[in-house]
Amino acid sequence: MRDWLFISDLHLDPERPEIIHLFERFVDKIAIHADRLYILGDFLEYWLGDDDQAAGLDAAFKSLKKLSDSGTDVFFMAGNRDFLVGESLARKCGFKIIDEPYIETIHGQATLLMHGDTLCTDDVAYQSFRAVIRNKKWQDEVLSKSLEERQQLAQSMRTQSKQANTEKTEYIMDVNQDTVIASMQQYSVNLLIHGHTHRKAIHHFEINDQTATRIVLGDWHEHGCYLRVNEKSEPELFSFK
């Protein structure tokens, strides 16, 4: 079996064309050789609905379609920025949408895949906000608005989010370890892969006297970040530029 790759938190935005180019290079040089690519949320900085032409993102979408057409299976999980991605965009890009939480068997080991924001339970205000934006009725109401209205809403939400985060401690915006353990116990797994916090790391700890591992994917800023998993070696995080 070839490599399985995992990425998250690219926050692709036409205002950051260098990250779009970085993703294109990642596809051409690395992902094209993999069996699977999992995108665990916040692939896009924001998404207003599949009726948005999003011309500035077309190169990224074409890269994904090229990757899928080459034989690499691509899976997409929504994050807190791109939760309005739908089946139309999935067909355009050639990926399969998977729901969170998602259990994947990786080389015989049950693995919990998440975006990761639901693990940050100390951030009570954010969890309340998330409950609203992930409600289907709220999403349907938003999608019924004009594209211009949605653009204004997205800008307002981004501004409010940045302001709120400046007032929070780093501790509050990180995962809660008790929640991590409870989630892994709920799904009977000893391996968890997630993004969201931008704190690239591999954490080892114990659950019921058994070794457990939590792998945190990094964000894409000056460098890209991806996790490689294969049968011949331990999971490893890489930077890419």
Strands across the sheet with 224-230, in order? 96-97, 73-77, 36-40, 4-7, 224-230, 233-240
What CATH code is carried by the domain that includes residue 137? 3.60.21.10
Q: Write out the H or E segment, with its range, that includes residue 180.
A: helix 177-186
**Residues 49-93: tens digit of each pLDDT:** 999 888 899 999 999 999 999 999 999 999 999 999 999 999 999
Task: Indicate the number of domains in the chain.
Answer: 1
Average pLDDT value for residue range 136-156: 90
Q: Write out the H or E segment, with its range, that includes residue 129.
A: helix 124-133
Q: What is the pLDDT of residue 190?
A: 96
Q: What is the pLDDT of residue 119?
A: 97
Among 12-21, 94-103, 161-170, which stretch is predicted with the lowest mean pLDDT?
A: 161-170
Q: Is 112 exposed, middle or buried (0-12, 13-18, 19+ CB in 10 A)?
A: buried
Q: How confident is the model at residue 233 (pLDDT cuts 50, 70, 90)?
A: confident
On the question of pLDDT at 221 being above 70, the answer is: yes
- Asked if 121 and 183 touch (Cβ cutoff 8 Å), the reply is no
The model's pTM: 0.93
On the question of pLDDT at 238 being above 90, the answer is: yes
DSSP class of residue 166 equals H
Which structural domain range is residue 32 located in? 4-240
Nearest to 7 by CA among 37, 27, 32: 37
On the question of pLDDT at 28 being above 70, the answer is: yes
Average pLDDT value for residue range 151-174: 77
What is the rounded average pLDDT for all residues in the chain? 93
On the question of pLDDT at 168 being above 70, the answer is: no
Tell me what percent of the residues of the chain surpass a pLDDT of 90. Answer: 80
Average pLDDT value for residue range 160-179: 79
**Residues 36-51: tens digit of each pLDDT:** 999 999 999 989 999 9
Q: What is the pLDDT of residue 199?
A: 94
Q: How confident is the model at residue 169 (pLDDT cuts 50, 70, 90)?
A: confident
Find tokens 């999935």 and name the residue: 90
Find tokens 């990180």 and name the residue: 174
**Residues 177-219: tens digit of each pLDDT:** 999 999 999 999 999 999 999 999 999 999 999 999 999 999 9
